[in-house]
Amino acid sequence: MEYKDLSDEAVKNIKEFGFDCIFTLGGDGTQKSARDFSTKGVNVIGVPKTIDNDVACTEITFGYNTAVSVAMEALDRLHTTGATHHRIMVLEVMGRYAGWIALESAIAGGADVALIPEIPYDINKVASKIENRKKRGKNFSVVVVAEGAKPIGGELTIMGTRDNGEGVDNTKLGGIGQVVAKQLQEMTGLEARNTTLGYMQRGGTPTAFDRVLSTKYGTKAMELALEGKFGTLAVIKNGRLDSVSLEEVVGKNTKIGAVSGNTEESNLRKVTMDDDLVKTARDIGINLGD
């Protein structure tokens, strides 16, 4: 399969059809492309939409709350089987290189362990957490694993690589949940089962929160368009609607064609160790693998 850069032809068509503005709904890859088209003279305004919640410069993306709610419901259901069958129930969730879904769903769903990309984990620390629960008469545990989690000194677990063209993140994450389940079963003696939610997190019925959030973003994007403030992204700062330049969203990833991925140039919003979610998880006894 051959990939060609047809962006100049796209720009030509946009101008010939007389489009006043292109609204781009998506994550970091989409907004990187938006910035590139803006550089080529297209009037573009971005709207942050991704379940991963990893778009730079905004506090939350729509789609994220729905994904967390789906993961939380799955954890509620896994608790029942884990408790009655005395098993370790592992849930692998999406999020790419950011641990937002794993961390927040673990808190909401009462998980005992949450492994996220931002904190390389020590499987021995996880096993110790589960052993301590066994000593207290709790012969089951619930573990949430982000698809981008990796052990200390180890590599990402991937299902394979795609061929979607140069500049695109072609790494297909997945499989870490099964790896963790197998290791914990061998180390603790408890049966372990992995559930990978996969695309169940991405579709279906949005939560009320996401419906309202997307509407807020939409009205802000239209406001920006009417004011002629192109080359921007509608964002939320300090809980209020605002906007930033797409250049700021892209950060160092300025090369046209280099879309997305977990590189030094990628301006992804990841979980920081001073985030309230991290502190909350630790305070209620969730093991983060460190």
Which domains are present in the chain?
7-62+206-250 (3.40.50.450), 66-204+276-283 (3.40.50.460)
Judge residue 65's burial from the number of C-beta atoms within 10 Å of its C-beta, 0-12 exposed, 13-18 middle, 19 or more buried.
Answer: buried
Q: What is the pLDDT of residues 241-274, one digit of tens each?
A: 999 999 999 988 777 765 666 677 778 999 999 9
- Percent helix, strand, coil in the chain, to 5, is 40, 20, 40
Interval 179-199: pLDDT, tens = 999 999 999 999 999 999 999
pLDDT in tens, 97-126: 999 999 999 999 999 999 999 999 999 999
Task: Identify the pLDDT of residue 172.
Answer: 81
Structure tokens belonging to residue 112: 């005992």
Which residues in the chain show pLDDT less than 50? none
Two structure tokens written together for 26: 């998506």
Residue 173 pairs in a beta bridge with 158
Predicted local confidence at residue 161, as pLDDT: 67
End-to-end CA distance of the chain: 43
Q: How many CB atoms lie within 10 A of CB 196?
A: 18
Which residues neighbour 196 within 8 Å (Cβ) at sequence distance 6 or greater?
91, 92, 174, 177, 178
Per the annotation, the verdict on 52 as an active-site residue is yes
Q: Which of 28, 36, 52, 54 is catalytic?
A: 52
For residues 201 and 51, the answer to whether their CB atoms sit within 8 Å is yes
CA distance linking residue 109 with residue 101, whole number of Å: 11
Please tell me the distance from the alpha carbon of residue 238 to that of residue 232, in angstroms, as a whole number. Answer: 18
Instruction: Please give the Cα distance from 35 to 5 (Å, whole number).
Output: 16
For residue 217, which of 72, 14, 69, 64 has the smallest C-alpha distance?
Answer: 64
pTM of the model: 0.93
φ/ψ of 2, rounded to 5, equals -110, 135
